[in-house]
Amino acid sequence: MPRLVHVIGAGLAGLAAAIRLQRRGVQVALHEAASQAGGRCRSYYDRTLAATLDSGNHLVLAGHEETLDYVRTIGAADELAGPAEPAFAFMDLAARSRWTVRFSRSRVPFWIGDANARVPGTKVSDYLALLPLLFAKPGRTMAQTMRCDGLLWERLLRPLFLAALNVEPREASAELAATLLRDVLSAGGEAFRPLVARNGLSSAFVDPALRMLQHGGAAIRLDSRLNEIAYDDAAGRAVALDFESGRVALGADEAVVLAVPAAAAAGLVPALQTPQRHTAVVTVHFAVAPPPGLATPMALVSGTADWLFAGAGRISATIHDAAAAHKHDGFDALDALDALGSEALARRVWADVAGAASLPLEPLPAWQIARDACATFAAVPQEELRRPAARTRWTNLTLAGDWTATGLPATIEGAIRSGHKAADLL
Ligand SMILES: Cc1cc2nc3c(=O)[nH]c(=O)nc-3n(C[C@H](O)[C@H](O)[C@H](O)COP(=O)(O)OP(=O)(O)OC[C@H]3O[C@@H](n4cnc5c(N)ncnc54)[C@H](O)[C@@H]3O)c2cc1C
């Protein structure tokens, strides 16, 4: 086991690696290019709304074992909250109909047999459409593997897979979708209970981890970008790290976990194959008190926004795969931001939110838009095949990040799993 590990990148992958290493008695130095930790999963103060916002609406599931293990370890398990039941609320904005799908807690999916728990208008036999997914082959899309149409698809499967994969599900990797399905089947419906960070992402995932690392004596260096790694190919080791602030030579008992995004890793590790295509997420926050009883999170069908999240004094909406114009009758949210301007997008999304929350269309509440053009790697078969393993040909360098070969889509669970694995390998 190394004496000192340099963890590069303080997103959730890097934080999870750092915490695990420290608990095993390894000295940790955490280096982060930005002036705050958390990467794509953090909170920040927004002047327009005079409020602390999250970098995006993040949903995790009660069955995400490594995520729950991580928040328990950093003492933040209470920060994740959700409904008592494994249930999801839906609304079709065009048809103005609402329904709730209530998964049964057990492994046997009794809910499919219960007309009040399954998707209204579907029959038990419709759910057999999912079976081919269990035998999904690598390199295949969902559309090449199972039926992707009909009520069950539009009113349950597409919204859930879109949230998990952040790409139009028909084009998504069937293998990744199958992993999600298998997880639910093996752990039971309870694993599908939605959880959100009740006081914001940083309170649940970032700040407690930084405090724990600091208490344990870790060196935390923000504004510390790694520019280059020097290698000794003959020895099969990384030998130095070049930061903007200077060079750090790696001793024989020192190692590195590289937990930066795919594009940054490709510039630091020779001949590294990484996913190239990414998909966007646009989040629109509205400063408005959610009406009492508003179901959250809520999947929105046939609107511009795909999901609605409500919290104290705020309702936020998420547009997944937001640069895909084919999704919403030719409407591309990123293009709209550029061409129509932000207010037109905010008004369009507010129409969805107001419809779902039964609020008046006018006046438009104060709003803020957060766009992330590279929110996740595109969970399509070609990109899935480009994900590298955590182990590299240098014995003291491992890779972490939601884009490495975790078997999961780019999610919090995938990022944390990758951090744990990179630490375990060292
Ligand atoms: C808007 C949005 C919504 C999302 N919704 C969900 C959701 O509902 N559920 C879910 O599970 N997941 C969701 N995700 C995905 C989730 O946020 C990510 O999978 C996860 O945060 C990735 O963590 P990471 O550590 O792999 O990468 P990152 O968070 O990208 O961390 C990498 C870190 O490395 C740093 N870095 C980069 N280059 C260098 C360098 N050269 N030197 C030092 N540091 C460097 C970066 O600044 C960053 O802090 C969402 C993502 C977005 C953007």
pLDDT digits (tens, 9 = 90+) for 341-378: 899 999 999 999 999 999 999 999 999 999 999 999 99
| pLDDT tens track for 112-157 | 999 999 999 999 999 999 999 999 999 999 999 999 999 999 999 9
- Distance from C-alpha of 124 to C-alpha of 107, rounded to nearest angstrom: 17
**Residues of each domain in the chain carrying CATH 3.90.660.10:** 278-377
242: exposed, middle or buried (Cβ count in 10 Å: 0-12, 13-18, 19+) = middle
Ligand 1 binding pocket includes 14 (Cβ within 6 Å): yes
Kind and range of the H or E run holding 92:
strand 87-92
Nearest-atom number in ligand 1 for the CA of 267 is: 41
The CA 11 to ligand 1 mean position distance, Å, reads 5
DSSP 155: I
Report the nearest atom of ligand 1 relative to the CA of 9.
34
Question: Under the phi-then-psi rule, with left for phi > 0, alpha for psi from -120 to 50, and beta for the rest, what region is 132?
Answer: alpha
pLDDT tens for each residue of 47-105: 999 999 999 999 999 999 999 999 999 999 999 999 889 999 999 999 999 999 999 98
What single string gives the DSSP state of each residue in 174-242? HHHHHHHHHHHHHH-GGGG-EEEETT-HIIIIIHHHHHHHHHTT-EEESS--EEEEEEETTTTEEEEEE
Query: Does residue 415's CB lie within 6 angstroms of at least one atom of ligand 1?
Result: yes
Length of the chain: 426
Model confidence at 185, pLDDT cuts 50, 70, 90, reads confident
Task: Tell me the CA distances in angstroms from 138 to 16, 282, 379, 405, 417, one per residue in order.
Answer: 29, 29, 12, 13, 21
Q: Is the CB–ligand 1 distance for residue 34 below 6 Å?
A: yes
CA of residue 41 to ligand 1 center, whole Å = 6
CATH topology of domain 4-47+60-79+199-276+380-425: FAD/NAD(P)-binding domain (3.50.50)
Q: What spacing in Å lies between the alpha carbon of 50 and ligand 1's midpoint?
A: 24
What local confidence, expressed as pLDDT, does residue 332 receive? 81
pLDDT of residue 327: 63
Task: Give the class (CATH, top level) of 278-377.
Answer: alpha beta
Q: What is the pTM for the complete model shown?
A: 0.96
Decide whether any atom of ligand 1 lies within 6 Å of the 13 Cβ: yes
Amino acid identity, residue 184? Answer: V
Tell how far the Cα of 117 is from the centroid of ligand 1, in angstroms: 35
| pLDDT of 325 strictly over 70 | no
What are the structure tokens assigned to 55, written together? 């970098």
Q: Whole-angstrom Cα distance, residue 304 to residue 350?
A: 10
Contact (CB, 8 A) for 195 and 77: no
Confidence of residue 26 (pLDDT cuts 50, 70, 90): very high
Residues 6+ apart with CB under 8 A from 174: 133, 136, 137, 140, 141, 142, 144, 145, 146, 381
Mean pLDDT across 380-388: 97
**Contact between residue 421 and residue 402 where contact means Cβ atoms under 8 Å apart:** no
- Return d(Cα 12, Cα 69) in angstroms, integer: 13
**Per the structure block, which two tokens stand in for 381?**
């078969």
Ligand 1 lined by 275 (C-beta under 6 Å):
no
- Helices 158-165 and 174-187: crossing angle in degrees, nearest 10, is 110
For the chain, give every residue range classified as CATH 3.50.50.60: 4-47+60-79+199-276+380-425
